[in-house]
Amino acid sequence: MPFEKTVKYLIILTSILFFGCSNNATDTITLIPDGYTGPVKISLCDGKGEDEKLENGNRVYEIDTNGLLTTKFKAEFGWQFNKYYYVNNEKRQEIRFINFYDKDTEFDKDSIYVFGEQHSGIGSKSDSTGTYQTCPIITFYVGKYENVEKKLHELTMFSFKTTELINGK
C-alpha cells in the first residue's frame, strides 16, 4: 500500500477514535441534606420521578433524607464534572470527591467525602407478572474515608434495595 494511502487511513482511524471516544455528558450538581452520611442512589428514569432541574446548564440532583432520588432525567454517559454539596437552608458546603483508585490521594480522616461513584445502564427485573426494565442508576457513598470496603459493600446492597422500573408496575 502506498505511503499516502496509509497516512490517509491512519488519519481517518485516529479521527474516528478521537471523536468517537470523547463523548461529553452534562455536568451535575448534587445537593445532599446537611449531615447525611451513607449510600446515595439516583435513578434516571427518563420521564418518571422528580422533574428535571437545571442550574447554569448543569443537572441538579436533590437527594432526599434517605439518600434517594428518582428523576425524569435520561441517563447520559461520557465525561462529566460533578460537584457535591451539603445543603442547609439554601446554604451550600462543597463535599470533596475522592477517587479511591488513586493510591496517591491524601485525605483527612475526620472529613466527609464522596467516593465510590458507579453508573449502571438499563437492567431488567422479572416476577410472576412479567419482565420489566429497570432505570439506570448512579450510586456513591457520602462519609468518612474509613472502612471503605465495608461501605462499598453497603453501597452495592443499597443499590438493589429498591428498583425503579421504566415500564410496568
Range of lowest pLDDT (9-18, 36-45, 73-82): 9-18
What is the span of the domain harbouring residue 72? 36-50+66-78+96-161
Look at residue 132 and tell me if it is in a domain: yes
Q: What is the pTM of this model?
A: 0.75
Look at residue 129 and tell me if it is in a domain: yes
Look at residue 11 and tell me if it is in a domain: no
Look at residue 154 and tell me if it is in a domain: yes
Q: Is the pLDDT of residue 16 over 50?
A: no
| CA neighbor of 38 nearest in space, from 98, 94, 112 | 112
| pLDDT of amino acid 45 | 85
In angstroms, rounded to a whole number, what is the distance separating the alpha carbons of residues 5 and 2?
Answer: 6
Look at residue 73 and tell me if it is in a domain: yes
pLDDT in tens, 67-115: 999 999 998 888 888 999 999 998 999 999 987 666 677 778 788 999 8
Domain count along the chain: 1
Report the share of the chain in percent with pLDDT over 90.
34
pLDDT in tens, 107-156: 787 889 998 888 887 776 666 777 777 788 898 989 887 777 777 777 77
